[in-house]
Amino acid sequence: MLQFLSLIGAIALTACCWGVYGPVLHFGREAMHSSLRPFMCVGLAYFLIAVLTPLALLARGGERGAWSAKGVLWSLLAGTAGALGALGVILALGFGGRPIYVMPLVFGGAPIVNTLLTAFMNKAFDQLKAPFLAGLILVVLGAVTVLVCKPQPQAHAAAAAAPAASDPDADAPVAPPKTMEQKTERFIEVLLATVLSMLSWGAYGPVLHRGQGAMGGSRLRPLVCIGVAYFLIAVLVPLALLVPMGDTGSWDVGGTLWSLGAGALGALGALGTILAFACGGKPFTVMPVVFGCAPVINTLATIALAHTPPAAVSPFFLAGMLIVAVGAATVLAFGPRGHAT
């Protein structure tokens, strides 16, 4: 019973950290008027939280497990998958994709990719029983419903800005309409970036679980590898993309602090995933619950920070949260119990 409660606590830690990650990072993006610069700060925070701190704790000794080439490789791949997933979302939104369909596709597809990849890696398709699959479907449907039906910000500012943009006497020139060819190109870019996030975050859990197992169930060693990979992907890649993507943002003290805070939340969420696996959780059950609950927490945090009135909350949104809860309980109750290597 204690192990199960520890598992629930670790899953809750991951879901809460990754759920609040988005709203916190949003403040960094707003302050720096950039998507890539805050992402670089996230990479720096990962280096501090997920690399330096675990290495200091390992130096003191007492942590079970051992370094292994196989474990390091798998854990580095997990960190790369996590970072590429976050980068994919940034690129999809930067290419003009709308959160109302980008995020449901990512959070709806990632649990499915996770389940299929886990079953493939462990040759465990026979363990996917009907109740578990039904719970997985409920989690996906609930997460998508929450994201689609979440309260939207008031559009009065955008409505006020629209006449000025169309006024021929306005100082700012009106951008020419996009051609069909340009729209198609943008659509393909958004689709590819969304698929990158879906596949990367879907692969994160099973790959990390394999790395942790190869290092004797160590908690800190996989986290170090994740931090190293995230630091490289989230700092060097955005640095190279600043000019090609036409980033016009600027560095800001407040935005940097918010973004570092978001990175700390991301690293703590990664630690929560590792702890969940150490408590006996499997990617089959841990990741679908995380991917189902994180969007709910994300939306609730956004509602609270935006002081959204209760009247703006749709009953469909509340129904989506209920569906996620039922689906998560079903996944945890009927998830495969066999050993996954």
For residue 67, tell me if it sits in a domain.
yes
For residue 214, tell me if it sits in a domain.
yes
For residue 339, tell me if it sits in a domain.
no
Q: Report the pLDDT value the prediction gives residue 333, as an integer from 0 to 100.
A: 87
Per-10-residue mean pLDDT, the chain, length 341: 88 94 90 91 93 91 89 96 92 83 88 93 89 93 88 50 38 51 72 94 95 93 95 90 86 94 94 93 92 90 81 85 91 74 47
For residue 340, tell me if it sits in a domain.
no
Tokens of 63: 């942590």
Nearest Cα to 44, choosing from 260, 223, 222? 260
For residue 172, tell me if it sits in a domain.
no
Q: Report the pLDDT value the prediction gives residue 337, as an integer from 0 to 100.
A: 67
Q: Which domain holds residue 327?
A: 2-151+181-334
Q: Report the pLDDT value the prediction gives residue 185, as an integer from 0 to 100.
A: 62
**326, 134 contact by CB (below 8 A):** no
For residue 167, tell me if it sits in a domain.
no
For residue 168, tell me if it sits in a domain.
no
Q: Report the pLDDT value the prediction gives residue 121, as an integer from 0 to 100.
A: 93
SS3 content of the chain, % helix, strand, coil (to 5): 80, 0, 20
Q: Report the pLDDT value the prediction gives residue 64, as an integer from 0 to 100.
A: 85
Question: What is the reported pTM?
Answer: 0.85
Domain count, the chain: 1
Q: How many CB atoms lie within 10 A of CB 29?
A: 22
For residue 272, tell me if it sits in a domain.
yes
φ, ψ of residue 128 to 5 degrees: the values are -85, 85
